[in-house]
Amino acid sequence: MKRLRIIGGVAAGMSAAAKARRINPELDIKVFTDNAYISYSSCGLPYYIGGIVKSPNDLIARTTEHFAQQGTKVHTMTRALEIKPDVGLIILEDLTTHELFTEEYDCLIIATGARAVIPSLDGINLRGIFTLRDIQDSQAIKAYLQEYQSTRAVVIGAGYIGLEMVENLRAHGCQVRMIEKSPQILPVMDQDMAQVVASYMESQGIEVLTDSAVTAFRGDDRVREVVVGDNSFPADIVILSIGVLPNSEIAGRAGIELGAGNAIRVNRQMATNLPGIYAAGDCATVHHIISDREVYLPMGTTANKQGRIAGENAAGGSTFFKGVLGTGISRIMELEISRTGLCEQECRNLGIDFITRTIKSRTMVPFFPESGRIRVKILVETHSRRLLGGQIVGYPGSGKRIDTIAAALTLNCRIDDLINMDLAYAPPFSPLWDPVLTAINKF
């Protein structure tokens, strides 16, 4: 019986296990994860903290018992220490007993994910400073907020998770300050679109500091202040959301090639440079459809897709992953933010000559009370008129409109192909001209 071993038990790892089982019911599949939980939604963690999700169990898609019923054994609290590709062996540690043991494999999938970036700053080990990567992190943050009745929160890093944490910290009654090292919040967006979000946040009483690097933390046993240069700000709780690093070290030590962002380099079949070894998820590279480059873009949706591809191919299939667009969506209170494809700076870095158009519209016909403002921006290559990307900021009903642009990007459309798209209209859903179509017709 062919032995498939998987290291990692969240999105990519468990998607791989499930797909491999469907492709080949005779496989001997074992999964090893250093976490107590498997197959959970990391994207839902901020909303558990904020109380929208009532229990962490609600975030779990499938349990170890579910996989066991399918003949897949999942070992939780078990860390892979070393891969020996020359003999097809993994050295592992039981984190409960600290005993070491080995597992042989015929085929291996590495889905070790990523870890939060933690800066080496004075006071970084004070209580009350958190990152958010797994269920245990979310439970610790929620317990701390409840125990100490924290009222002054600082979120460091203004990406998707940082914005979502602002919303969910406010649900606990916190006054929130956001600090971002870059010149703007949401570095994946263009400056003009990010500024719309920043202005909204400030209108809601959230202080936003950009071009501001945190230099230290102060406190007794708990954090009390965040230091930014010559200034300091009071803080009862701090959320670090400044990026992630791929857990690729175990692969690198085994002679597996690393690529963009020091992630595990994979081809379109999720195969590494070593025979019989695949990688998927936040530890792996991915192909960007528009730039045609290898990139490191860790996203939950990508991890699930890559996991399925790795699982199918490890089980004997031959399927390919086309790549990603960097499509993302988030929300901060009432404001929805989404993007796909390339932004202006990415185009400049790639040497692509581009033009942009930005329009302001409404999410519904203006006479509907729920109608809100929406801003749509589209980027197009100058000479070929190829669609390059899009960004949307607006009130409820705005964000998911990005999917129209993402679909067009996937099909490598020119802007002229889209001018007469037959998009749905009814007063509760859209103006007569959908905002995306209005933006397209500006070219």
pLDDT score recorded for residue 166: 97
Boundary (domain end) residue, out of 191, 223, 240: 240
pLDDT score recorded for residue 1: 79
At 51-81, the pLDDT tens digits run 999 999 999 999 999 999 999 999 999 999 9
Instruction: Identify the domain containing residue 279 by its residue range.
Output: 3-39+58-114+245-314
The answer to whether the beta carbons of residues 367 and 356 sit under 8 Å apart is no
- DSSP lists the bridge partners of residue 128 as none
pLDDT score recorded for residue 278: 98
Q: Is residue 320 part of a domain?
A: no
At 159-194, the pLDDT tens digits run 999 999 999 999 999 999 999 999 999 999 999 999
Supply the CATH number for residue 359's domain. Answer: 3.30.390.30
Q: Is residue 46 part of a domain?
A: no
Give pLDDT < 50 ranges for the chain: none
Task: State the Cα–Cα distance between residues 63 and 65, nearest whole angstrom.
Answer: 5
Query: Can you spell out the DSSP letters for 258-309?
Result: B-GGGPBP--TTSB-SSTTEEE-STTB-EEETTTTEEE----HHHHHHHHHH
Q: Is residue 50 part of a domain?
A: no
The answer to whether the beta carbons of residues 84 and 254 sit under 8 Å apart is yes
* Number of structural domains the chain divides into: 3
| C-alpha closest to that of 198 among 166, 151, 154 | 166
Q: Is residue 45 part of a domain?
A: no
Task: State the Cα–Cα distance between residues 139 and 128, nearest whole angstrom.
Answer: 13
Q: Is residue 197 part of a domain?
A: yes
Same domain as 224, residue 133: yes
Q: Which of 43, 174, 283, 343 is catalytic?
A: 43
Same domain as 108, residue 159: no
Same domain as 110, residue 255: yes
Q: Is residue 224 part of a domain?
A: yes
Same domain as 97, residue 122: no
Same domain as 289, residue 236: no
Q: Is 343 a catalytic residue?
A: no
The answer to whether the beta carbons of residues 244 and 137 sit under 8 Å apart is no
Same domain as 92, residue 80: yes
Same domain as 250, residue 220: no
Same domain as 235, residue 133: yes
Same domain as 126, residue 235: yes
Same domain as 265, residue 303: yes
Same domain as 187, residue 278: no
Supply the CATH number for residue 221's domain. Answer: 3.50.50.60
User: Whole-model pTM?
Assistant: 0.95
